């Protein structure tokens, strides 16, 4: 089925009608009539919630921090159980510390 804004039942028509009813798109994001009309003509514009984007970035950094902390604990546990040499332990810990420093720099560079 062709998808044009003037064809009932098409993707763009449904999107436009939804915007006319409650001003939100199918994902529940704020959407305006001009955005829907532009989208129907191939211009994809969408507002972004900056607070939400910051929250996802912070969540990503926290998950990566935990993963690096788990690496360090794994190296410590393996060394304590004599599964790796002291050289392997030191190399692994140093690599994990460098990762942590890079992550901290990225976290500092995040816009507030």
Name the token pair of 4. Answer: 């044009």
Give percent helix, percent strand, percent coil of the chain, each to the nearest 5.
Answer: 65, 0, 30
* Separation between Cα atoms, residue 86 and residue 20, nearest integer Å: 67
Question: 12-30 pLDDT, tens per residue?
Answer: 777 777 777 776 666 666 7
Q: Categorise residue 30: left if φ over 0, alpha if ψ from -120 to 50, beta otherwise.
A: beta
3-class secondary structure, 112 = coil
Q: Dump pLDDT digits (tens) for 88-111.
A: 999 999 999 999 999 999 888 877
d(CA 9, CA 60): 39
The model scores a pTM over 0.85? no
């Amino acid at each position: 089925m062709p998808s044009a804004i003037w064809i009932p039942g098409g993707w763009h028509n449904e999107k436009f009608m939804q915007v006319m009813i409650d001003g939100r798109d199918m994902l529940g994001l704020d959407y305006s009539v001009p955005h829907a009309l532009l989208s129907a003509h191939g211009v994809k514009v969408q507002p972004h919630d900056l607070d939400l984007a910051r929250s996802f970035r912070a969540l990503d950094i926290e998950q990566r921090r935990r993963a690096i902390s788990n690496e360090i604990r794994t190296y410590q546990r393996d060394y304590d159980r004599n599964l790796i040499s002291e050289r392997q332990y030191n190399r692994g810990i140093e690599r994990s510390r460098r990762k942590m420093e890079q992550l901290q720099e990225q976290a500092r560079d995040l816009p507030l």
